[in-house]
Amino acid sequence: MAAINLTFLSCKPSLPYSSFRTKIDHSSVSLFSAARKLRSDRHKSQIKPARASSSTKGTTKTPSKSADDKKSKDERVQKVHSVEEFDAALRAAKNRLVVVEYAASHSENSQRIYPCMVELSRACGDVEFLLVMGDESEEMRALCRREGIDRVPHFSFYKSMEKIHEEEGIGPDRLVGDVLYYGDNHSAVEQLHSRADVEALIERERGAEGRLVVLDVGLKHCGPCVKVYPTVLKLSRSMAGTVVFARMNGDENDSCMEFLRDMDVVEVPTFLFIKDGDIRGRYVGSGKGELVGEILRYQGVRVTY
């Protein structure tokens, strides 16, 4: 079960990085370890098949070249055949999320995960989807080397032509979670980008008529944060009248990281519960049932386990 810390927050000195815990489990990620991982770069060039997640299912193959035009139009997955097409697609997307699957014709795992890309392209109109066949030509191999791709299937996420996240050997559930997490065009969850944004939200919901604020604090490359985010989206829609859901990535900028330190956030995801201008408590972890129970409890609903 995910750890629960219900200690009321108070104004405490910021924690130095050296004091952060390094424990990593399936429900939360150490803030320091995750942030340090962001700075690591890979320098491999050979394309190899990646191990598939146990949740990868399906047998539909990557579309053949003769069917590219029709299927790309119907499925909104654009297959690119040159570096120029790839760069042009990233530029045209501007600040929208671009999800790129790097695949190979000999990779069964690439063929198995592709149907999930197709379904997501139909459902997520605010996200652009590209397919790069790494063994199609020497130019495509060069593109994979440029982007640091050495195994397929590999998924890279771009915004404003910058790579913000990447995964390999994942299954459909993780891919869906990643797209929802990084797509962030979800009006039901408010996206906060600084301490000032947090303070403005708290002030707006202050008073007798103010709603409970659930602030989801995470990191861009945090697996448990991605895992729990679809639940946050569903709850934000079903509880819109009584609860405000907001999200902040602590590693987005210095202001966000400073806010995490001041709030003594050590592991992510951490959910802060704020009512009438006061931080009433927190929940650390990605357990869906536990999160729902904590939200109900801070709404004044009696919850028994």
Q: Which residues are catalytic?
A: 222, 225
Beta strands in the chain (DSSP E): 29-30, 48-49, 77-79, 97-103, 127-133, 151-152, 154-159, 162-168, 189-191, 212-218, 243-249, 267-268, 270-275, 278-284
Q: Are strands 151-152 and 48-49 parallel, antiparallel or unpaired?
A: parallel
Tokens of 302: 């009696």
Q: Are strands 97-103 and 127-133 parallel, antiparallel or unpaired?
A: parallel
> CA–CA separation, 167 vs 175, rounded Å?
9
Buried/exposed code over 178-205 (b: 16+ C-beta within 10 A; e: otherwise): bbbbbbeebeebbebebbebbeebbeeb
CB within 8 Å of 280: residues ≥ 6 apart: 8, 273, 274, 298
Tokens of 272: 């802060």
* H or E segment to which residue 300 belongs: none
Q: C-alpha angle 154/157/159, rounded to 5°?
A: 160
Tokens of 280: 């009433």
Contact of 28 with 273, CB cutoff 8 Å? no
Q: C-alpha angle 296/298/303, rounded to 5°?
A: 45
Q: What's the one-letter identity of residue 167?
A: E
